């Protein structure tokens, strides 16, 4: 055995992890929401998921970093090709996985790299925000913004503003899969 497998005896031998043809790779069962409910100096910190379009907002966020701008570390950015790529399930999944707020950010209308993606985003999420409000979600927990690649200060301001808006609301418990 040891001659065949250099890793023999390691815990990886016992569990089906990856590489087995035909067998799904299984996630470990969730034990706690990832990274949520973290405290800093004993204070609860909101966990915000941001979907950033590759061409504008992500570049804007990058510029904010390059410019050494200070903003709250509460937002986790997910880079998507276009804000039109974000579908309603992404948002719901983020809430399920422990997000306290979700931001969808993309190019300004008219500036979409693909021409029209953000116009569809605008209609879709305008409607979805109203639906979530109808289901009892605070509208501040789900927002959308247009941030261009040169608008690093706007990115900083949006993150700061969103964090401060969500902080008084407390953790989002609605639809959460696992308790923090």
From the list 3-11, 53-61, 72-80, 88-96, the region that binds other proteins by CB under 8 A is: 88-96
The one segment of 6-14, 37-45, 46-54, 117-125 that binds other proteins by CB under 8 A? 117-125
Nearer to other proteins, 76 or 130 (CB): 130
Report the DSSP beta bridge partners of residue 39.
Answer: 44
Give CA 54 to chain center in angstroms.
14
Report the alpha-carbon distance of residue 30 to residue 46 in Å, rounded: 20
Instruction: Check binding of 93 to other proteins (CB under 8 A).
Output: yes
Q: Is 13 helix (H, G, I), strand (E, B) or coil?
A: helix
Residue 80 is classified by DSSP as E
Q: Is 78 in the site for other proteins (CB under 8 A)?
A: no
Binding-site member from 64, 132, 152, 166 for other proteins (CB under 8 A): 132
Q: Which of 91, 110, 107 is nearest to 151 (CA)?
A: 107
C-alpha to C-alpha distance for 140 and 131, rounded to whole angstroms: 13
For other proteins, the binding residues in 141-160 under the rule CB under 8 A are: 143-146
Q: Does 124 bind other proteins (CB under 8 A)?
A: yes
Q: Pick from 61, 37, 65: which is nearest to 176 by CA?
A: 37
For other proteins, the closer CB: 44 or 175: 175
List contacts with other proteins (CB under 8 A). 24, 27, 88-89, 92-93, 96, 109-110, 116, 119-120, 122-139, 143-146, 174-177
């Amino acid at each position: 055995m040891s001659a065949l497998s250099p890793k023999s005896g390691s815990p990886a031998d016992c569990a089906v992890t990856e590489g087995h043809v035909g067998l799904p790779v299984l996630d470990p069962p969730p034990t706690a929401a990832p990274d949520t409910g973290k405290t800093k100096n004993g204070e609860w910190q909101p966990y915000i998921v941001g979907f950033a379009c590759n061409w504008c907002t992500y570049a804007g966020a990058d510029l904010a970093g390059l410019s050494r701008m200070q903003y709250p570390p509460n937002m986790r950015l997910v880079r998507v090709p276009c804000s039109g790529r974000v579908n309603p399930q992404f948002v719901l999944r983020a809430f399920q996985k422990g997000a306290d707020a979700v931001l969808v950010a993309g190019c300004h209308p008219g500036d979409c790299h693909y021409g029209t993606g953000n116009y569809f985003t605008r209609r879709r999420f305008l409607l979805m925000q109203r639906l979530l409000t109808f289901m009892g979600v605070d509208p501040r927990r789900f927002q959308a913004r247009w941030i261009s690649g040169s608008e690093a200060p706007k990115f900083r301001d949006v993150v700061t503003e969103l964090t401060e808006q969500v902080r008084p609301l407390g953790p989002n418990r609605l639809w959460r899969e696992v308790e923090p």
